[in-house]
């Protein structure tokens, strides 16, 4: 069996897709969750990444509008698409295989 091809998504995208596997989330919530992993991105930079994921068909974005305390609250929400789920699964499988293949070798004690 030939080895898996390297995934086309970045670590950050992998992280975002993983977060969305739990369910649909607003962009703001994703940004906050990423910040906990030390990822500080400006609004435009983050949403540009999300737009690219949308273009690739990995996530679906839509505007959400609700009224809270007589104020209109607006945000863009994202949901994982089947293709996104498949990309995440493939990436995870790639890394699992990479760990299985190469991780064990690295774990050997060094020659003294």
Partner 1 sequence: MARGRRAPRMCDPAAVFRRLVPAPLRERVFDPAIADACRERRVRRRRRRGPIARAGAEALFVCRVLNAVRECRAMARDARQPFDAPRERPALMTRQDFMFALRMLRKAPGFAAAAILATALGIGANAAIFTVVKHVLLQPLPFPDPSRLVDVNEYGREGRATAVSPPNFMDWRVQNRTLSGISVYGDQVLTLSGGPEPVRVLAGTIDAEFLNVLRMQPQLGRALTVDDTRPGARQVVLLGHDLWQRSYSGDRAVVGRSVTLEGLPYEVVGVLPAGFDFPGESELWIPLRFAPDDLASNQRGAHYLAAVGRLRDGVTAGQASADLDRIEQELARQFPDKIEGYTVRAVPLLNSMVEGVQRPLLVLFGAVGFVLLIACVNVSNLLLARATTRTGEIAVRSALGASRWRLVRQLLAESLVLSLAGGAAGLLLGSWGVRALMAVAPADLPRAATVSMDATVLLFSVALSLLAGIVFGTAPALVGSRPDLTVFLKDVRRDGGSTGGRRRVRAVLVAAQVALALILLAGAGLAVRSFNRLVHVHPGFQAANVITLRIALPEGPYPTMASTVQFYRDYVDRIRQQPGILAAGAVSIAPVTRAGFGGTFTIYGRPEGNDEGNAQVRSTTPGYLETLRIPLRAGRVFDGRDSETAPRVAIISEAAARRFWPGENPVGRQIRVHVNESNRSPREIVGVVGDVRTRGLELDPVPVIYVPHPQYGGDGMAIMARTAGDPMQALPQMTNALKTLAPGVAFSRAQTMEDMMSANVAEPRFRSLLLSVFALVSLALAAVGLYGVVAFSVSQRRGELGLRMALGAAPSQVLRIVLREGMTPVAAGIAAGLAGAAVLARVMRSLLFDVDPLDPLTFAAVALTLSVVALVACYLPARRAMTVDPAGTLR
Phi and psi (nearest 5°) for 71?
-120, 145
Q: State the minimum distance, in angstroms, from the CB of residue 24 to partner 1.
A: 11
Q: Name the residue nearer to partner 1 (CB basis): 11 or 28.
A: 28
Q: Name the residue nearer to partner 1 (CB basis): 44 or 82.
A: 44
Ranges of beta strands (E only) in the chain are 25-26, 59-68, 71-80
Contacts with partner 1 by CB under 8 A lie at 27-28, 31, 42-48, 50-51, 54, 61-66, 71-76
94-102: Cβ within 8 A, 24+ apart: 94/4, 94/5, 94/6, 94/7, 97/3, 97/4, 101/3
Q: State the minimum distance, in angstroms, from the CB of residue 2 to partner 1.
A: 31
Q: State the minimum distance, in angstroms, from the CB of residue 31 to partner 1.
A: 7
Q: Name the residue nearer to partner 1 (CB basis): 54 or 97.
A: 54
């Amino acid at each position: 069996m030939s080895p898996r091809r390297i995934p086309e998504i970045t670590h950050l995208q992998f992280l975002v897709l993983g977060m969305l596997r739990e369910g649909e989330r607003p962009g703001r919530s994703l940004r906050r969750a990423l910040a906990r992993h030390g990822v500080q991105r400006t609004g435009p930079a983050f949403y540009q990444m999300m737009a690219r994921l949308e273009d690739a068909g990995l996530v679906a974005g839509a505007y959400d509008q609700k009224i809270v305390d007589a104020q209109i609250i607006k945000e863009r929400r994202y949901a994982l698409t089947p293709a996104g789920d498949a990309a995440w699964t493939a990436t995870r499988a790639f890394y699992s295989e990479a760990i299985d293949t190469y991780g064990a070798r690295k774990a050997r004690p060094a020659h003294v």
